[in-house]
C-alpha cells in the first residue's frame, strides 16, 4: 500500500543494527549520508528519547559521534498530542490483560522510547521503522514481553522495517 507523503519515525534498533551488522560507516557511507539528508528534510524523524539512547555510551563510539554531529529535527515527546497518546498506550498495556506487571514496569521506566514511539506515530500519523517482530500469536497467559508491532496493531499505527523505508524512499548504493 503506497502512502502519499509518508513520514517515518525510527526506532533505536534502526540505527544500531545497520551500524553493527551490515552498514558500518567504513563499508556503507552512502547509507549514512542518505539517512542524514532525510532526517534533515523532515521525511525521517528521530524521537528525542531515541536520540538520547544513541547519544550515550562509549567514549569512542562512531554511531554516537555521528548522531551528535548531524542536524536532527527531534520530535519531542513533550508535545501535548503525543503525551495524550502515551497515556492511551500505557493504559492499554495495563488493562489489556496481555501483559504482566514486569512488562508494564519495563515500558513505564523513564527513558524508555518504545511507548513514546507508538504515541508519537499515532499522534502524527507516522510509520514506525523497527526491526522488532510481533509475537504471533500473543500468549494466552500474560507475558513480560511487549513488542512495538503488537501494540501498534491495537492502535492502527503503521510499522515496517528499515528495508521497507529504504525501498519506498528510493535508496540505492549506486
List pLDDT tens digits, range 137-154.
777 778 888 999 999 999
Q: Residue 95 has what pLDDT?
A: 94
Residue bearing cell 514511539: 117
Is residue 31 predicted with pLDDT exceeding 70? Answer: yes
User: Looking at residues 25-52, what average pLDDT do you find?
Assistant: 94
Is residue 86 predicted with pLDDT exceeding 90? Answer: yes
CA distance linking residue 89 with residue 144, whole number of Å: 16
pLDDT cut 70: percent of the chain above it: 96
DSSP three-state, residue 49: helix
CA distance linking residue 113 with residue 130, whole number of Å: 12
Q: Residue 75 has what pLDDT?
A: 95
Our separate counts of H helices and E strands in the chain read 9, 5
Cis geometry, peptide bond prior to residue 137 (ω within 30 degrees of 0)? yes
Average pLDDT, the chain: 92
pLDDT digits (tens, 9 = 90+) for 94-123: 999 999 999 999 999 888 999 999 999 999
User: Looking at residues 31-52, what average pLDDT do you find?
Assistant: 94
Q: How confident is the model at residue 1 (pLDDT cuts 50, 70, 90)?
A: low
Strands 127-129 and 8-10, by their bridges, are parallel
Q: Give residues with Cβ within 8 angstroms of 123, minimum separation 6.
A: 79, 81, 82, 84, 85
Helix (H) or strand (E) holding 58: none
Strands 44-47 and 159-160, by their bridges, are unpaired
Amino acid at each position: 500500500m503506497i502512502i502519499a507523503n509518508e513520514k517515518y519515525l525510527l526506532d533505536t534498533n534502526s540505527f544500531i543494527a545497520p551500524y553493527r551488522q551490515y552498514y558500518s560507516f567504513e563499508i556503507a557511507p552512502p547509507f549514512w549520508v542518505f539517512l542524514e539528508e532525510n532526517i534533515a528534510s523532515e521525511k525521517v524523524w528521530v524521537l528525542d528519547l531515541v536520540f538520547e539512547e544513541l547519544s550515550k555510551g562509549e567514549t569512542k563510539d562512531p554511531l554516537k559521534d555521528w548522531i551528535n554531529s548531524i542536524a536532527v529535527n527531534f520530535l519531542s515527546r513533550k508535545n501535548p498530542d503525543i503525551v495524550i497518546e502515551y497515556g492511551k498506550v500505557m493504559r492499554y498495556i495495563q488493562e489489556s490483560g496481555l501483559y504482566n506487571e514486569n512488562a508494564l514496569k519495563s515500558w513505564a521506566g523513564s527513558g524508555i522510547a518504545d511507548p513514546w514511539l507508538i504515541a508519537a506515530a499515532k499522534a502524527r500519523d507516522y510509520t514506525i521503522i523497527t526491526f522488532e517482530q510481533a509475537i504471533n500469536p500473543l500468549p494466552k497467559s500474560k507475558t513480560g514481553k511487549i513488542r512495538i508491532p503488537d501494540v501498534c496493531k491495537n492502535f492502527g499505527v503503521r510499522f515496517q522495517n528499515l528495508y521497507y523505508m529504504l525501498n519506498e524512499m528510493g535508496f540505492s548504493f549506486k
